[in-house]
Amino acid sequence: MADSTKERIYQLLSDIEDENVLNQLMQDVSFYASRNDSVNELTPNQMQELDIAIKEADERDTINWDDFKKELNEWRKK
């Protein structure tokens, strides 16, 4: 079963020509394939920031999707 799933994934990947999409997929796959928990590599300050971000999300202290996309586009221009 796993082999047939891998073959389908390989076929899908072979049809992708967009390098940006391939780079994003590489990051995603690397995350799931990694044997290390990346949280273990965070500094204490980064862990504190992550805890704050999770708390904000849990409390629904977030921005809406359209505002996020706007901020992201502005950040990319910098």
* DSSP characters over 2-59: HHHHHHHHHHHHHT---HHHHHHHHHHHHHHH-SS-GGGGS-HHHHHHHHHHHHHHHT
Same domain, 56 and 72: yes
Q: pTM of the full predicted structure?
A: 0.42
Same domain, 67 and 43: yes
Q: What is the mean pLDDT of the chain?
A: 89
Q: Which domain holds residue 5?
A: 1-35
Q: Under DSSP, is residue 69 helix (H, G, I), strand (E, B) or coil?
A: helix
* pLDDT of 54 over the 80 cut: yes
**Domains of the chain: total:** 2
> In the structure, what pLDDT confidence band is assigned to residue 45 with cuts at 50, 70 and 90?
very high
* pLDDT of 3 over the 90 cut: no
> In the structure, what pLDDT confidence band is assigned to residue 65 with cuts at 50, 70 and 90?
very high
Tokens 């809406």 label which residue? 64
Same domain, 1 and 29: yes
